[in-house]
Amino acid sequence: MLQFFAKYKFFGIVMLVLSAIIITIIYNVYTIDEGKTLPIYQPNDVTAELVDTTVQHIKKYHKIADFSLTNQNGQIITQEDYKNKIYVADFFFTTCQTICPIMTDHMVNVQEKVKNNPEIMLLSHTVTPDIDTVAQLKRYAQEKGVDDTKWNLVTGDKKEIYDLARKSYLAAKDTPYNEYDLIHTENFVLVDKKRRIRGFYDGTDPKAIEELMDDIEILQKEK
């Protein structure tokens, strides 16, 4: 019997060490996000070209401003419709043939993943409100499979949308040749229940969308 244990002693030690390593890995996988918190972004934290000069100096207490816009069903949508909600916002236009179709497809994927979660909503702002009328947004929404109870596509006053993009969501570049034109980015912006920005994600990158979904889960655990 002693000879048997002596013979397999080394093998037993190796198995014991491997078991400890595997248990540690599994533990880390399931607990890695438990202590993770998301940053609270301020205008001072973001690349200057995406932020209006009037708010670039702000280092704390930044929140999404009040708004009043019209959705694809002709309904007035305000900050009250997103009260106590976590939401993902972006900027697009329906005639865009470059990054917008990819962004919209990815937002559709997000919609599918959160469709049964009443805490999560989506909000897409057109940057060409003169073209993207309510009727145009409705056609686009139907074409893309937008859930009206979960996702608002909004149009409205161009200056208000411009100010939201540059002063609130920090998600669009200015254009030097026109005071009220902007170049929207591919960013999806994660906003918490207190109207604070908690993350920026490349809306054209599937891996970034996975990160967004992970961060939404983390945000939901916040008290």
Residue 184 pLDDT:
78
- Domain hosting residue 18, numbered range: 2-31
Residue 169 CA to residue 197 CA, distance in Å, equals 7
CATH number at residue 138: 3.40.30.10
Q: Where are the beta strands (DSSP E) in the chain?
A: 68-70, 76-78, 86-92, 120-126, 151-154, 172-174, 182-184, 187-191, 197-202
User: How many domains are contained in the chain?
Assistant: 2
154 & 73 share domain: yes
Give me the pLDDT at residue 223, please: 74
Helix (H), strand (E) counts: the chain: 6, 9
**Looking at this protein, which amino acid is placed at residue 53?**
T
pLDDT per position in the chain (223 positions), as tens?
445 445 555 554 545 545 545 544 444 444 445 668 999 999 999 999 889 999 999 999 999 999 999 999 999 999 999 999 999 999 999 999 999 999 999 999 999 999 999 999 999 999 999 999 999 999 999 999 999 999 999 999 999 999 999 999 999 886 654 555 667 789 999 999 999 999 999 999 999 999 999 999 999 999 7
Cβ atoms of 120 and 85 closer than 8 Å: yes
Amino acid at 37: T
Q: How far is CA 91 from CA 72, 105, 138, in A?
A: 15, 14, 16
> Can you give the pLDDT at residue 173?
80
Same-domain check for residues 27 and 68: no
Residue type (1 letter), 121: M
Domain contains 36: no
Q: Could you tell me if 65 and 145 lie in one domain?
A: yes
Distance CA 53, CA 65 (A): 16
